[in-house]
Amino acid sequence: MPGDAMLSVAWHSSDSVQAHMARNNDTVLGMAINGDPGALHALTCAHADLPVATVHAPLLGSPDGIGAQLFETWHGVAPLRSGVHRGVSYRHNNDLLFGSVSIAEHDLAAGALAHLDATTGAASGAANVASTRLAAASFAAYSALFDTLATLGFDYLLRVWNYVPDIVDHVDGSERYWQFNSGRQAAFSAAGRTVTGDVPAACALGLIGGSVTVFFIATRIVPIAIENPRQVSAFNYPRQYGPKSPTFARAVCIEFAKTPYLFISGTASIVGHQTMHVGNVVLQTRETLNNLRAVIDAANQRYSLDDGSPRFALAGLNFRVYIRRSLDFDAVRAELVAAFDTEVPLPPIVYLRSDVCRPDLLVEIEAAGGYPMEVSG
């Protein structure tokens, strides 16, 4: 990886990742495998102490040479220490921790629901949301996460990726995303953490079947939460979006050695708190890009280069694009390509088939940057 940056990222194909890992294993904090995880077994056998999260979402498009699998490795400064705590696999150095936890709803003990009800106070009117296996799985995953961070002394949750089976289905009287939010917020509260304001960047996407999977980056350095002036903060959504609001910031910035890194949460075609352009994927993609630009502008109000120019720009980030319907891929990709100056290479972009957390949202985009990045097919 380039230089001695506090944090850097590499995107690799299945052909190049093994050699990359052999060269850089002492700096790899963790890995996310996007697409078909067919090579997972060989990698985990060779690197058994590495936190690995699998995202079972088909790739619709990726940088040249990547193919049907994208292996994303997160790197930090050595030496690194690895372990497992309450089912959370982690690796960390003095400043950063990468972790992963996966919980199958059907594996939860019967007492998990009762424990969640006791924690949330099911009589509050959210009982039909709290008393579900998904809410209990969400609560269990985040409770284990927070206990791991407390045990290891990492106070700040920086960025979280949540993957939830069948996220927009209605089961047990409510939408599954609402149930996930109920369990997540209950875990934040039980751990003594705020559920508004200084919360992590995050996304929550739907997969077909599988387990509730959460992977994350935590730190001992205070991050700065960034909100979007075009949108109501997600943690302040009105009750029409569920009895418990989503617990995430629109973005966070963190500064290492006077260099800020930006992590933008999953972003969609929402203005205020309402979905815009229902049924029109082109207009939803454009609105999403407008929201990304607004978040970048908000981040630049806090951070600038030495000459006063903006620190962050849309073309300087990398992107993960989630598309609900495979048939919309070409239209979404055309909008992304049009958003950038044709005289410079496109930034790294990967497209995945995945459900977005509202049934009327057709596309969601997350972005990050400021750190060194390598792409190798």
- Long-range CB contacts (< 8 A, 24+ apart) of 306-314? 311/260, 311/370, 312/262, 312/369, 312/370, 314/289, 314/339, 314/340, 314/367
Q: Which amino acid is at 222?
A: V
Can you spell out the DSSP letters for 263-291? EEEEE-SEEBTEE-STT-HHHHHHHHHHH
Pairing type for strands 317-323 and 349-353 reads parallel
Query: Is residue 300 one of the residues assigned to a domain?
Result: yes
pLDDT of residue 116: 62
Both tokens of 155, joined, read: 């106070």
Question: In percent, how much of the chain has pLDDT > 70?
Answer: 90
Can you spell out the DSSP letters for 88-104? EEEEE-SSEEEEEEEE-
Could you report how far apart the first and last alpha carbons of the chain are, in Å? 15
Domain that holds residue 347: 7-376
CA atoms of 174 and 168, how far apart (whole Å): 10
Beta partners for 35?
69
Residue 264: CATH number of its domain: 3.30.1330.40
Structure confidence at residue 43 as a pLDDT band (50, 70, 90): low
pLDDT exceeds cutoff 60 at 58: yes
121 or 108, greater pLDDT: 108
Specify the range with the lowest mean pLDDT, choosing from 105-114, 258-267, 328-337: 105-114
Name the nearest CA neighbour of 293 among 365, 373, 347. Answer: 365
Specify the range with the lowest mean pLDDT, choosing from 86-90, 172-176, 204-208: 172-176
Query: Is residue 338 one of the residues assigned to a domain?
Result: yes
Query: Is residue 2 one of the residues assigned to a domain?
Result: no
Question: In percent, how much of the chain has pLDDT > 90?
Answer: 73
CA atoms of 28 and 78, how far apart (whole Å): 9
Whether 349 contacts 321, CB under 8 Å: yes
Name the nearest CA neighbour of 169 among 207, 140, 217, 223. Answer: 207
Beta partners for 368?
263, 318
- Determine which one of 175, 364, 366, 374 is catalytic: 364
Q: Is 364 annotated as catalytic?
A: yes
Query: Is residue 173 one of the residues assigned to a domain?
Result: yes
Q: Give the C-alpha distances (Å, rounded to integers) separating 229 from 250, 263, 272, 288, 315.
A: 10, 17, 9, 14, 21
SS3 130: helix
Name the nearest CA neighbour of 95 among 221, 252, 262, 8. Answer: 221
Looking at the 3D structure of the chain, how many domains does it have? 1
pLDDT exceeds cutoff 60 at 206: yes
CA angle, residues 370, 338, 62, in degrees to nearest 5: 60
SS3 74: strand
pLDDT exceeds cutoff 50 at 69: yes
CA atoms of 81 and 150, how far apart (whole Å): 16
Can you spell out the DSSP letters for 308-328? S-BS--GGGEEEEEEES-GGG
Please identify which residue in the block is written with the tokens 């093994």.
18
127 or 211, greater pLDDT: 211
Average pLDDT over the chain reads 90
Beta partners for 360?
none
Q: What is the pTM of this model?
A: 0.93
pLDDT exceeds cutoff 80 at 2: no
79 prior amide bond cis, ω within 30: yes
Q: What is the pLDDT of residues 20-33, one digit of tens each?
A: 888 998 999 999 99
Helices 133-152, 176-190: axis angle to 10 degrees equals 30
Cβ atoms within 10 A of the Cβ of 310, count? 14
Query: Is residue 197 one of the residues assigned to a domain?
Result: yes
Query: Is residue 1 one of the residues assigned to a domain?
Result: no
